[in-house]
Amino acid sequence: MRVDLSWIDYLIMIIYFLFVLGIGWFLRKFMKNANAFLEAGRSMPAWVAGLAFISTNLGALEVMGMTGSGMKYGMLTTHFYWIGAIPAMIFLALFMMPFYYGSKARSVPEFLKLRYDEKTRALNAILFAVMTVLASGISMYALALLMENVLGWNFDLSLWVSALIVLGYTYLGGLSSAIYNEVLQFFIIVIGLLPLVFLALKDVGGWVGLKAQLAPIATARGFAPETFTTTWSHTGTAASNPLGVEWYGILFGLGFVLSFGYWCTNFLIVQRAFAAESKAAARKVPLIGALPKMFIPFLIIVPGIIALALSNDPGKGFVIPADPGGGLNYNLTIIMLLKQYLPAGVLGLGITALLASFMSGMAGNVSAFNTVWTYDIYQSYMRPRTGDEEADGKHYLKVGRITTVVGILLSIASAYVAGKFGNIMDFLQTIFSLINAPLFAVIFLGMFWKRTTGHAAFWGLLLGFLLALLHHGLTIPAGATSLVKGGWIATLHTYPVEMAQNFWTAIIAFVVSTTVTIGLTLVTKQKKSDAELTGLVYALTPRTLDDKDLKWYQRPIGLAILVGVIFLVLTIMFW
Amino acid sequence: MVDIRIPIGLMFSIVGVLITGFGFFTMSNTEMYHKSLGVNVNIIMGILMLVFGLIMLFFAFRKKKKV
């Protein structure tokens, strides 16, 4: 499975590293206070923040994982990009962003503090900070392992060098540098993977040829012939598609709970919109991000589907290496495809694209961790503002910089822990991902129901999380051999596939959280006055048209309609 | 602040020229392009990157003049 690189491939990589660090270097002189460093001075144009928004989401584990899922589930994987992203992104842009941006909160935990109370903020800030460090550690470990196995690089060296480059540019230029580099990385990911899609499609005889080759594979597995090339057609029952989930599970689990939980409340993503230059720009950020998002499946999922056809055609000599457990190591799908089709030159570009996706994901984690630690933990509990704005700005800038170094060192540490106790890390990450669905319930109720109280929000968040945990401990996907996948208390129910378990865990978290928050709101007293809630709650916020000077396509609503139409066309085309 | 289109434009132009040059240099190497189904992807991607890079630079500097 070794891929050999030549001098030109290394040269392309080095040029990329120089540009990434160079951007940080040029931005360093603009970093005069904490506001510039941690919030990018709220000065980003909508298109820059919008591309960064989508680039942060396009981390290395996402790219490798989604190509692998393409090979496992076929076109059904696009549900993660279409129904599982677009409606949530439109909702975030049109209905939530005015309150997020208008509240002047600098982070999602801070929004919780403004809308609810201190304890709700603390709970969210601490869970979020731990989650970001874990996530960047796990992806760093995966990347270094990949570089060791495939490119033959030294594990420690690739880990430290990639971490130090990210540290370099985020330390120098803070959030601005992370965002600028994410835009650069976005274009590199697209251009770097583009030749792969064209060559692979050409090889299998285009979409028509691909369909013909996948039909016998689908029938052999007991599915209808076109299962791998359709999205909704075969979701009548869970057993009729490889995803193992029926249409209402996809619609409610993925299309509502998981996607709204992720896109509307994950500070890692939302922070990019907070950095926009105006409220109208902030509302456009998720919509500008949604435009490329809808087409990314053709770049990373379609090659995975082609890999499925290739691996069943002995003449192609295409093999996915096995993982130690005996199954196929699906995460290597994209690398094996790069090896199959790309000659020296564009191969370097493809590998650089993977490195770029790793960096955009990691810098996202680092900059979000930074902001939450500095503002929501350090400024709130350790050293409050003194009132001297200038001195404070300098002080928190210094803290932000130190936090960048500490955050990256913690990520490196967790990467080594992941190497030693991989299962424990996977388990922790699963657990922390349970926080999103309850968080969405609590923020949504807070924005649209002025009565929702702080106590109710806190307990809604906590109990939603704990019950999701309980569900995970009592159920298990079929064939799971380790307790990491669930069933660590007892096994009351067995799901046909892991995906179904994930969906239902999130649905339970959301339902419990909503019920608890509504229930407790009815029996507790609202401590916040209407004046305090102005700008945070829909009913108490005067609606001003800040975009009436813009042309229809420049307004958020115009863009939202455009995104919605493209989404519908794609859904129908690949129904 | 710095216009992000300048570094993007510069990087894509430089890498574009590099890959196009490499593509021309290796044009006769049919064994190397056997992988890519006989297509010289280096020349195609190189030119594509160069064009993209120049477009980025064009818009970055056009805006500068106006200000």
- Concatenate the DSSP letters of all residues of A25-45 into one string: HHHGGG--SHHHHHHGGG-B-
Question: Domain range spanning residue B22?
Answer: 5-66
Residue type, B1: M
Tokens of A458: 């806190």
Handedness of CA A348, A354, A355, A357 (dihedral sign): positive
Range list for CATH 1.20.1730.10 in chain A: 7-433+544-573
Per-residue pLDDT band for A547 (boundaries 50, 70, 90) equals: low
Task: Note the pLDDT tens digit of each residue in A242-268.
Answer: 888 888 888 888 888 889 989 999 898
Max Cα–Cα distance, chain B, nearest Å: 52
CA distance B2 to B16: 22
**Which residue stretches of A372-474 are H helix?**
389-420, 422-433, 436-448, 454-474
Contact assignment for A180 to B4 by CB distance below 8 Å: yes
Tokens of A307: 């890999």
DSSP assignment of A5-26 equals: --HHHHHHHHHHHHHHHHHHHH
Max Cα–Cα distance, chain A, nearest Å: 72
- Note the pLDDT of residue A411: 92
Beta-carbon contacts of A355 under 8 Å, excluding residues fewer than 6 positions away, are A13, A16, A60, A143, A162
Q: What percent of chain A has pLDDT over 90?
A: 40
Tokens of A284: 């456009």
Contacts of B42 in chain A (CB under 8 A): 343, 345-346
Q: What value does the mean pLDDT of chain A take?
A: 88
Are the C-beta atoms of A228 and A72 separated by less than 8 Å? no
The DSSP symbol for B38 reads T
Q: How far is B56 from chain A (nearest CA, A)?
A: 11
CA distance A464 to A245: 23
Of A43, A203, A343, the CB nearest to B32: A343
The DSSP symbol for A276 reads B
Residue type, A225: P
Per-residue pLDDT band for A75 (boundaries 50, 70, 90) equals: very high
E strands, A73-202, are: none
Tokens of A455: 């106590």
Are the C-beta atoms of A75 and A313 separated by less than 8 Å? no
Contacts of A23 in chain B (CB under 8 A): 2, 4, 7
A184 inside 8 A of chain B by CB: yes
Q: How far is B47 from chain A (nearest CA, A)?
A: 12
- Note the pLDDT of residue A249: 84
CA distance A20 to A193: 19
Domain tally for chain B?
1
CA distance A549 to A117: 37
Nearest to A135 by CA among A406, A418, A485: A418
A199 inside 8 A of chain B by CB: yes
Tokens of A396: 């928190």
Task: Note the pLDDT tens digit of each residue in A264-277.
Answer: 998 988 999 999 99
Buried b (16+ CB within 10 A) or exposed e, A23-40: bbebbeebbebbbbbbbb
Please write down the long-range contacts of A109-112, taking CB distance under 8 Å and 24 or more positions apart: A109/A267, A109/A372, A109/A376, A110/A375, A110/A376, A111/A443, A111/A536, A112/A442, A112/A443, A112/A446, A112/A457
Contacts of B25 in chain A (CB under 8 A): none
For residue A477, give the H/E element and its range.
strand A475-477
CA distance A377 to A380: 5
CA distance B39 to A219: 34
CA distance A554 to A219: 48
The DSSP symbol for A562 reads H
- Note the pLDDT of residue A368: 92
Contacts of B10 in chain A (CB under 8 A): 19
Q: How far is B19 from chain A (nearest CA, A)?
A: 6
- Note the pLDDT of residue B67: 47
Task: Note the pLDDT tens digit of each residue in A468-485.
Answer: 989 888 888 887 777 777
Q: What is the mean pLDDT of residues A427-440?
A: 82
Number of Cβ within a 10 Å radius of residue A392: 18
- Note the pLDDT of residue A278: 87
Q: What is the mean pLDDT of residues A551-558?
A: 78
Task: Note the pLDDT tens digit of each residue in A294-324.
Answer: 999 999 999 999 999 988 888 787 888 887 7
Q: How far is A525 from chain B (nearest CA, A)?
A: 47
Contact assignment for A22 to B35 by CB distance below 8 Å: no
Task: Note the pLDDT tens digit of each residue in A192-235.
Answer: 999 999 999 999 989 999 989 988 888 888 888 888 888 888 88
CA distance A472 to A484: 9
Are the C-beta atoms of A57 and A224 separated by less than 8 Å? no
Contact assignment for A11 to B12 by CB distance below 8 Å: no
Beta-carbon contacts of A67 under 8 Å, excluding residues fewer than 6 positions away, are A300, A301, A303, A304, A307, A333, A334, A337
Task: Note the pLDDT tens digit of each residue in A140-170.
Answer: 888 888 888 888 888 999 899 999 999 999 9
Tokens of A256: 């509502």
- Does the interface ipTM go beyond 0.90? yes
The pTM of this model reads: 0.92
C-alpha A202 chain-centroid distance: 31
Contact assignment for B8 to A15 by CB distance below 8 Å: no
Q: What residues 25-54 of chain B have any CB closer than 8 A to a CB of chain A?
A: 26, 32-33, 35-37, 39, 41-42, 44-46, 48-49, 52
CA distance A402 to A373: 11
Per-residue pLDDT band for B56 (boundaries 50, 70, 90) equals: very high
Q: What is the mean pLDDT of residues A496-507?
A: 82
Multiple choice CATH, A7-433+544-573, 1.20.1730.10, 3.30.360.10, 1.10.10.10, 3.30.2130.10: 1.20.1730.10
CA distance A517 to A511: 10
- Note the pLDDT of residue A245: 83
* Bridge partners for A493 per DSSP: A475
- Note the pLDDT of residue A546: 62
Task: Note the pLDDT tens digit of each residue in A344-377.
Answer: 899 999 999 999 998 888 888 999 999 999 989 9
Contacts of A342 in chain B (CB under 8 A): 35-36, 41
Please write down the long-range contacts of A378-387, taking CB distance under 8 Å and 24 or more positions apart: A378/A403, A380/A113, A380/A118, A380/A121, A380/A122, A381/A122
A456 inside 8 A of chain B by CB: no
pLDDT value at B64 more than 70: no
